[in-house]
Amino acid sequence: MRAVVADGAGGPEVLSVQEVPDLTPGPGEVLLDVAATAVNRADVLQRRGFYPPPPGASETIGLECSGTVAALGDGVEGWSVGDEVCALLAGGGYASQVVVPAGQVMPVPDGVDLVTAAALPEVACTVWSNVFMVAGLKPDESFLVHGGAGGIGTFAIQLAHALGSQVLTTAGSPDKLELCRSLGADVAISYRDEDFVQVAREATGGRGVDVVLDNMGASYLPRNVDVLATEGRLVIIGMQGGVKGELDVATLLGKRGAVIATSLRGRPVEGKTAICASVVEHVWPLVADGTVKASVGRTVPLDDVRDAHEHIDDGTHTGKIVLTL
Ligand SMILES: NC(=O)c1ccc[n+]([C@@H]2O[C@H](COP(=O)([O-])OP(=O)(O)OC[C@H]3O[C@@H](n4cnc5c(N)ncnc54)[C@H](OP(=O)(O)O)[C@@H]3O)[C@@H](O)[C@H]2O)c1
């Protein structure tokens, strides 16, 4: 089989496609022939040496894929050789084959082609688990997602809009703000030129925002707490703005607010299995009827993995970058 191998940590130039030993599925695992995988910001961190795989996971980069079931490990039920699927991975997606626990394999939603399906597992599982399962966003509540034009953001805007929430988002350029509006954002805020707290307060009649999905971490912590409504929930999923911030406990307490931080990749298989099942039940029907779409900004062959990583490094991409086998 072929896989992207990293020659040490560093820039895109450390990545190359090489022949590597074939894989065999263990008990409870499924072997997939990969059709496509997709690039996540976490892949960049792993390439740079800052985000090692969890214990037992493949050293190969890649948190999601689509493909065809090639073999089943002992005890796997519900899947057959030849099924077209997509999967949430702890690693190993940038390869022609991958093994994955059966519970992290999902059907390709009706109406979605196999290549596009590679762009769905990570965003669907992250957004659904954090915004709806953890933060419990309700239809009459307001929702702010930072980085609305990125992979996570484009999906979060569509899903929250489809389920009836007022959606606010931030982005870094006029084109990206326009993309966010086209996906269903009611309010798109330039994080370069505007104060998102002030704009969000005005847009919510002074109440503030019920749920914030945050990719920035430390640098946005005070303002994210500030922007919360009474009984609001801030869910931190990224640290693009650093790791140590100052929390105004008095403000949080006065609002009876919650600050939650989660990581999908490091969860046990049982947790990921439950999230995948919930995504298939609640999110896939909205994808199948076209209400929510995978936002694919670019599709390139796996052999051009360096180009794809240069593109995500320079921050000009929108939505997801898909790598095809
Ligand atoms: N914890 C988890 O389980 C989990 C799972 C998946 C993803 N994540 C995290 O979620 C984040 C998004 O991931 P992704 O794969 O969607 O990455 P991505 O497509 O590269 O998106 C990154 C986003 O960050 C935005 N951004 C940069 N500077 C910003 C600022 N000052 N204020 C607001 N937004 C800013 C960018 O906005 P512009 O393009 O408009 O500049 C872009 O939309 C990453 O931090 C990633 O690590 C966490």
Q: What is the pLDDT of residues 133-176, one digit of tens each?
A: 999 999 999 999 999 999 999 999 999 999 999 999 999 999 99
The CATH number covering residue 306 comes to 3.90.180.10
CA–CA dist 317, 41 (Å, integer): 11
pLDDT at 317: 93
Based on the domain organization, do 149 and 186 belong to the same domain? Answer: yes
Atom of ligand 1 nearest to the CA of 320: 19
CA of 116 relative to ligand 1 center, distance in Å: 20
Based on the domain organization, do 289 and 249 belong to the same domain? Answer: no
Atom 24 in ligand 1: residue holding the nearest Cα: 147
Mutate to test the pocket of ligand 1, among 43, 44, 183, 240 (most ligand atoms within 8 A of CB): 240
Helix (H) or strand (E) run with residue 71 in it = strand 64-72
Atom 4 in ligand 1: residue holding the nearest Cα: 237
Based on the domain organization, do 238 and 280 belong to the same domain? Answer: no
Based on the domain organization, do 114 and 85 belong to the same domain? Answer: yes
CA–CA dist 115, 285 (Å, integer): 19
CA of 41 relative to ligand 1 center, distance in Å: 7
**CB-side neighbour CA atoms (13 Å) of 85:** 29
Which residues have CB under 6 Å of ligand 1? 40-42, 122, 126, 146-147, 149-153, 170-172, 176, 191, 215-216, 237-238, 240, 262-264, 312, 315
Domain boundary among 238, 261, 284: 261
Token digits of residue 200: 């969000």
Based on the domain organization, do 237 and 213 belong to the same domain? Answer: yes
pLDDT at 170: 98
CA–CA dist 236, 210 (Å, integer): 14
Helix (H) or strand (E) run with residue 174 in it = helix 174-183
Atom 11 in ligand 1: residue holding the nearest Cα: 215
**Contact by Cβ (8 Å): 38, 53:** no
Mutate to test the pocket of ligand 1, among 63, 215, 224, 265 (most ligand atoms within 8 A of CB): 215
Based on the domain organization, do 288 and 220 belong to the same domain? Answer: no
CA of 318 relative to ligand 1 center, distance in Å: 11
Rounded mean pLDDT of the chain?
97
Domain boundary among 261, 288, 312: 261
> Strands 105-107, 84-88: parallel, antiparallel or unpaired by DSSP?
antiparallel
Based on the domain organization, do 54 and 131 belong to the same domain? Answer: no
Based on the domain organization, do 80 and 154 belong to the same domain? Answer: no
CA of 25 relative to ligand 1 center, distance in Å: 33
CA–CA dist 109, 116 (Å, integer): 10
Token digits of residue 260: 């939650």
pLDDT at 125: 98
Atom 31 in ligand 1: residue holding the nearest Cα: 191
Nearest to 98 by CA among 54, 68, 53, 56: 68
Mark residue 281 as left, alpha or beta (left: phi above 0; alpha: psi -120 to 50; beta: remaining): alpha
Token digits of residue 26: 């263990």
Based on the domain organization, do 311 and 186 belong to the same domain? Answer: no
Nearest to 17 by CA among 299, 314, 300, 295: 300
**How many Å separate Cα 32 from the centre of its chain?**
21
Based on the domain organization, do 151 and 196 belong to the same domain? Answer: yes
CA of 295 relative to ligand 1 center, distance in Å: 14
**Domain residue limits at 287:** 2-120+268-324
CA of 260 relative to ligand 1 center, distance in Å: 17
Task: Specify the pTM.
Answer: 0.98
Domain boundary among 261, 276, 301: 261
pLDDT tens digit sequence for 168-188: 999 999 999 999 999 999 999
Based on the domain organization, do 281 and 215 belong to the same domain? Answer: no
The CATH number covering residue 209 comes to 3.40.50.720
CA–CA dist 320, 302 (Å, integer): 14
- Backbone φ and ψ of 313, nearest 5°: -65, -40
CA of 304 relative to ligand 1 center, distance in Å: 22
Based on the domain organization, do 112 and 225 belong to the same domain? Answer: no
Mean pLDDT for each consecutive 10-residue tract of the chain (325 residues)? 98 98 98 98 96 94 98 98 98 98 98 98 98 98 98 98 98 98 98 98 98 98 98 98 96 98 96 98 98 96 98 94 98
